[in-house]
Structure 1
C-alpha cells in the first residue's frame, strides 16, 4: 500500500462485533494505519470505545464529529484500501445502485481506493435474485466481493449459508484488490 491506510467499514450485522480483535490483528500483522467507520446499526452492536482504544483514533459514525471536514471525503481520500465487513443486504443494495444516504455508503461512493465487500446475509436474503443481482452489479463496477460461507446463524443457532467470510479470506481478497489497483498518487 502506498501509505498503509486501511479503512474498515462495518454495517449492522452481528459479525461487526469482531472489529476490536480484527483491529489488533491488522495493526500487529501488517503495521497499517487503521480507521473505522460504522453505520448507525453497527455502532449498536460493537463497542465504539473498544475500537477507538485499539486503533487510537476516533470511530467515525453517522454523526459529524468535526465540523471542519467533510467526513466521507476525508475518509475516502485518506484510505488506500476500504474493507466493508460485514456488509448487509441493505448496504450492498444501496452501493449497487449508487445510493449514498449514510456515511459508510458515501465513503464507498467517493473513494478511489480499492473496495472489498464481505457480505453477511440471512440464508433467505442470499437466495433472493435481487440480492444476487446487487452482488453481481458491485463486481461489474469493480468492487471485490468476498463470497459468504456456511456459518452459525445467530437467530437459529444452526449452520446456514450467508455468513461473512473469515478474516483470512477477506485479507486474501484485499491483497488481490491492491495488486490490481492502479498506483495512487501520494497526497
Structure 2
C-alpha cells in the first residue's frame, strides 16, 4: 500500500491507493433490475423453473386474473375481462364519426317537453277522430295508457335494471 501526504496551508491531505479488489468482488445489482425479457437465456430458464423471490416478475401494467397458492396459480373467473360485442349484422351506419361534425348542445328535457314528445300526438289524433270520452279520456286506450301508476313504475324499474 502506497501513501502520499500533501500539506497545504496547515491541512494535511492523505491519498491512499488500495491494491485489493473493491468490496471483494460483490456488486450491487439492485440498481439494475432484471425483469422478464432482460438477462441471459440461462437466467430466463432458471427463472422459469424456479423463480427467485427477490427478482420480481414484471407484468407491464396488466392486472392479474388470479392469485398464487403455493406453487400453483389459481384463476378467478370474475377477474377475466369479458368483451360484450353487439351483433351488427344489417347495421347501416358506419362506425366512423368525423371530427368535422358540429357539436350538438341540447338542454335536458323538461316534463312538458317529455309529455309533448310521448303523449300529444296520440291525444291530438284521438281528438280529431272523436275517440275521446266525456272526461276527455280515450275510448280506445293504448297499452301504455291502460297501465296503473304502480304498473308503470314497475315497468320503468325493470327496464332500468335490464340496462344496468
TM-score (norm 1): 0.19
Higher CA-based Rg: 2
More helix by share: 1
Q: Which has the higher contact order (CA 8 A, sep 6+)?
A: 1
